[in-house]
C-alpha cells in the first residue's frame, strides 16, 4: 500500500505548533525554522499514517503530558551528548573541589539527556573520593524534559563511541564491557550508578523543591530558548544553587543575562555570588 505523504506545513499550522512548543517547553521556533521543523516531522507523520501536519498538531496538543508530544519534543530538540564533553569544565570542577575538600557534594545536571554528563561527573567524584580529596557523600541528580532519554540514562548502557574521551583507566574502573548482543557497548558499574538519580523536569515550569546544590550543569540547552526564556530559566535554576557554588553552561553559549550575581571563571563557568542587600 502506498505510504501517505505528510503534505505541506501551512503557515497557520506552523504558528500553532510553534506557540504550543514555546508555551510548554520554552522552545523558540521563528519563521526561519519552518523548513527544519517540517522536515523533522514529515517522516513521523507518514509513519503514523496521519493526514498531514494539522492532524499531527491536533494529536500532540491533546497529549501534552506525554505520548506523541514527547516524541515531537525529541524530534525538534537534539539530545546530542557524550562523556566529558567540554572537558575544561571538569578541570574547573576538580580544581575547585580539590581546593575546598568538601565532606559532601551535591550536583545537578539540569539538561542531562542520556546521562553522559552525569556519569562523567560521577567518574570524577568517585576518583576524588577514593583519593580522599572529597568526602564519601556525593550525589548527582540528572533531569531532562524527555522521558525517552531518561529511560535510556537509567539503563546506564552506552555505545563505546560515546566514551571516547574517557581514559582507559576510568573505563576499566567504572565500566563493564558488553559481550554477545551487547558487543560495542559499555555498562556503567553500580559503584557509580548508586550515586546518580534521574527524574523528569521541565526547566520552563516552576521547579519543585530540589537542592540546594553545590554545583549545577545547565549546558547546551539554552540554545533552544529566546532571550526572555533564557533569563527566566537561568534565574530559576540558579535559585537552587548555593551561594559560592559553581554554575556551568555550554562554552559556546556566551554570558547569559540574569538577575543572579555571578563571577565569571572561564568560558561557560561561573560562581554564584551573594545578592546585594535590597536586590531581588
Ligand atoms: C543537547 S542536550 C544537552 C546534554 C548535556 N547537557 C550536554 O551538554 O552534553 C539538550 C537537552 O535539553 C533537553 N531540554 C530541552 N528543552 C528542555 C526543557 N524545557 N526542560 C528540560 N530539558 C530540556 C533536551 O531534551 C535535551 O536532552
Residue 280: pLDDT band by 50, 70, 90 thresholds?
A: low
Q: Which residues are catalytic?
A: 40, 144
Q: Which pLDDT band holds residue 5 (cuts at 50, 70, 90)?
A: confident
Q: Which of the listed residues 27, 72, 145, 151 should we mutate to test ligand 1's pocket, taking the one with most ligand atoms within 8 A of CB? A: 145
Q: Is 25 close to ligand 1, i.e. is its CB under 6 Å away?
A: yes
Block residue for cell numbers 499550522: 13
Whether 3 has a pLDDT exceeding 70, the answer reads no
* Residue 128: closest CA among 33, 195, 204, 187: 195
Residue 277 pLDDT greater than 80, yes or no: no
Instruction: Give the angle 212-121-28 at the CA atoms, nearest 5°.
Output: 70
**Interval 198-214 mean pLDDT:** 95
Please enumerate in sequence order all residues whose Cβ is within 8 A of that of 50, keeping only pairs 6 or more positions apart, or say none. Answer: 4, 6, 56, 59
- Mean pLDDT for the stretch of residues 67-73: 91
pLDDT at 203 (0 to 100): 97
Cα(259) to ligand 1 centroid in Å equals 22
- With a 6 Å cutoff on the Cβ, whether 80 touches ligand 1 is yes
Question: Does the beta carbon of 77 lie inside 6 Å of ligand 1?
Answer: yes
Q: Please report the pLDDT score of residue 266 as a whole number.
A: 94
Q: Which residues pair with 218 in a beta bridge?
A: 249
Is the minimum distance from the CB of 79 to ligand 1 under 6 angstroms? yes
pLDDT digits (tens, 9 = 90+) for 94-117: 999 999 999 999 999 999 999 999
Residue 59: pLDDT above 70? yes
Average pLDDT over residues 190-215: 96
Cβ 72 vs Cβ 27: under 8 Å: no
Average pLDDT over residues 225-241: 96
- Whether the bond between 212 and the residue before it is cis, its omega within 30 degrees of 0, is yes
Amino acid at each position: 500500500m502506498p505510504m501517505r505523504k505528510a503534505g505541506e506545513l501551512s503557515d497557520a499550522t506552523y504558528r500553532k505548533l510553534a506557540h504550543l512548543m514555546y508555551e510548554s517547553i520554552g522552545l523558540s521556533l521563528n519563521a526561519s525554522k519552518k523548513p527544519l521543523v517540517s522536515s523533522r516531522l514529515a517522516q513521523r507523520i507518514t509513519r503514523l499514517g496521519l493526514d498531514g501536519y494539522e492532524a499531527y498538531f491536533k494529536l500532540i496538543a491533546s497529549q501534552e503530558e506525554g505520548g506523541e508530544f514527547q516524541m515531537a519534543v525529541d524530534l525538534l530538540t537534539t539530545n546530542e551528548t557524550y562523556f566529558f564533553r567540554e572537558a575544561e569544565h571538569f578541570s574547573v570542577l576538580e580544581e575547585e573541589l580539590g581546593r575546598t575538600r568538601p565532606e559532601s557534594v551535591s550536583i545537578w545536571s539540569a539538561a542531562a539527556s542520556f546521562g553522559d554528563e552525569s556519569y562523567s561527573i560521577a567518574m570524577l567524584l568517585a576518583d576524588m573520593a577514593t583519593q580522599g580529596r572529597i568526602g564519601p557523600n556525593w550525589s548527582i541528580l540528572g533531569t531532562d524534559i524527555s522521558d525517552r532519554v531518561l529511560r535510556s540514562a537509567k539503563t546506564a548502557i552506552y555505545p563505546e563511541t560515546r566514551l571516547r574521551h574517557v581514559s582507559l583507566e576510568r573505563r576499566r574502573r567504572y565500566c563493564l564491557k558488553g559481550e554477545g548482543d551487547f558487543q560495542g557497548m559499555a555498562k556503567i558499574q553500580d559503584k557509580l550508578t548508586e550515586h546518580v538519580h534521574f527524574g523528569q523536569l521541565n526547566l520552563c515550569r516552576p521547579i519543585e523543591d530540589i537542592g540546594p546544590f553545590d554545583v549545577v550543569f545547565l549546558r547546551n540547552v539554552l540554545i533552544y530558548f529566546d532571550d526572555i526564556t533564557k533569563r527566566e530559566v537561568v534565574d530559576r535554576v540558579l535559585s537552587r544553587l548555593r551561594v559560592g557554588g559553581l554554575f556551568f553552561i555550554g562554552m559556546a553559549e556566551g554570558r547569559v543575562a540574569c538577575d543572579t550575581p555571578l563571577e565569571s571563571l572561564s568560558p561557560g563557568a561561573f560562581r554564584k555570588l551573594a545578592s546585594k542587600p535590597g536586590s531581588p
